[in-house]
């Protein structure tokens, strides 16, 4: 079924073409009245054609705004470990699955002047099989994950599922928390561990 602007466009186009044909016939046969009538019809159908274009453009703009609004509503905010000013900030980039594994990608921002050689943290996530009020807890330990001072890196992690998803179908996992961050740093040739609270307590001494 045609939209209003499509009908106006079609009627305007066909009417203009027919009116021009009538105008040519009137000029060839020298019929003055018919020439005047065709001129009036051309004006009417050109206005109809223009109205169809204008209405179609307005419809396009409204549709574009609705799509943008829908995208904003459907956009899910990413989970982050804390404030952007924390010494270490870990932010979710993606959290997906297949039949056997969860695949996660995280952005790790080092706001300190320390070079981090390893990092570990816990993630809490839920899926459609999780009981209300509970969450899966996974300890992520990233070995040889050098994060230079004042730099941001992206790290991937894969963890095996607790059940056979080939039988249960998609679990629709959703990340809930990133917490319990522990950094491993080489100080004078010795590896030391710093929890996030330890780094916060050091304050300006490491920033």
pLDDT at 207 over 80: no
Mean pLDDT in residue range 145-154: 89
CA angle, 96 then 88 then 113, to 5°: 140
Highest mean pLDDT among 52-61, 133-142, 174-183, 198-207 belongs to 174-183
* Residues 11-35: tens digit of each pLDDT: 778 878 888 788 788 777 777 777 7
CA nearest to 141, candidates 116, 115, 119, 117: 119
- Same domain for 105 and 145, yes or no, is yes
Helices then strands (H, E): number in the chain? 4, 7
Task: Identify the domain containing residue 106 by its residue range.
Answer: 88-205
- Same domain for 127 and 189, yes or no, is yes
* Residues 111-124: tens digit of each pLDDT: 988 888 889 999 99
* pLDDT top residue among 165 and 158: 158
* pLDDT top residue among 12 and 179: 179
pLDDT of residue 68: 63
* pLDDT top residue among 142 and 69: 142
In whole angstroms, give the CA distance from residue 105 to residue 95: 7
pLDDT at 76 over 80: no
Kindly report the CATH number assigned to the domain that includes residue 142.
2.60.40
In whole angstroms, give the CA distance from residue 175 to residue 161: 14
pTM: 0.59
DSSP string, 109-160: EE-SSSPEEEEEEEEEEE-TTSPTT--EEEEEEETT--B-TT-EEEEEEEEE
pLDDT of residue 166: 57
In whole angstroms, give the CA distance from residue 81 to residue 136: 17
Phi, psi of 141 (to 5 degrees): -120, 105
* Upper half-sphere CA count for residue 32 (Cβ side, 13 Å): 0
- Same domain for 110 and 165, yes or no, is yes
pLDDT at 170 over 80: no
pLDDT at 72 over 50: yes
Instruction: Work out how many domains the chain is built from and give that number.
Output: 2
Q: What residues contact 159, with CB distance under 8 A and at least 6 apart?
A: 101, 102, 104, 138, 140
- Same domain for 98 and 190, yes or no, is yes
- Same domain for 101 and 195, yes or no, is yes
Handedness of CA 97, 154, 190, 198 (dihedral sign): negative
Tokens (6 digits) for 207 = 């920033």
- Same domain for 105 and 18, yes or no, is no
pLDDT at 73 over 50: no
Q: How confident is the model at residue 87 (pLDDT cuts 50, 70, 90)?
A: very high
pLDDT of residue 2: 60
Mean pLDDT, the chain, rounded, equals: 80
């Amino acid at each position: 079924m045609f939209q209003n602007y499509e009908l106006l466009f079609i009627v305007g186009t066909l009417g203009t073409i027919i009116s021009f044909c009538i105008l040519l016939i009137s000029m060839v046969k020298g019929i003055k009245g018919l020439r005047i009538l065709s001129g009036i019809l051309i004006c009417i159908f050109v206005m109809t054609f223009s109205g169809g274009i204008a209405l179609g453009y307005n419809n396009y703009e409204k549709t574009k705004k609705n799509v943008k609004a829908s995208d904003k509503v459907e956009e899910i905010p990413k989970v982050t470990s804390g404030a952007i000013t924390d010494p270490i900030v870990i932010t979710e980039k993606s959290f997906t699955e297949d039949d056997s594994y969860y695949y996660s990608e995280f952005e790790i921002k080092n706001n300190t002047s320390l070079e981090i050689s390893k990092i570990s943290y816990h993630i809490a996530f839920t899926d459609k099989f999780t009981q209300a009020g509970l969450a899966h807890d996974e300890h992520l330990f990233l070995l040889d994950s050098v994060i230079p001072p004042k730099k941001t890196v992206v790290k991937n992690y894969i963890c095996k599922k607790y059940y056979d998803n080939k039988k249960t179908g998609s679990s629709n996992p959703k990340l809930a928390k990133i917490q319990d961050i522990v950094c491993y740093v080489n100080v004078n040739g010795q590896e030391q561990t710093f929890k996030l609270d330890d780094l916060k307590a050091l304050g300006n001494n490491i920033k």
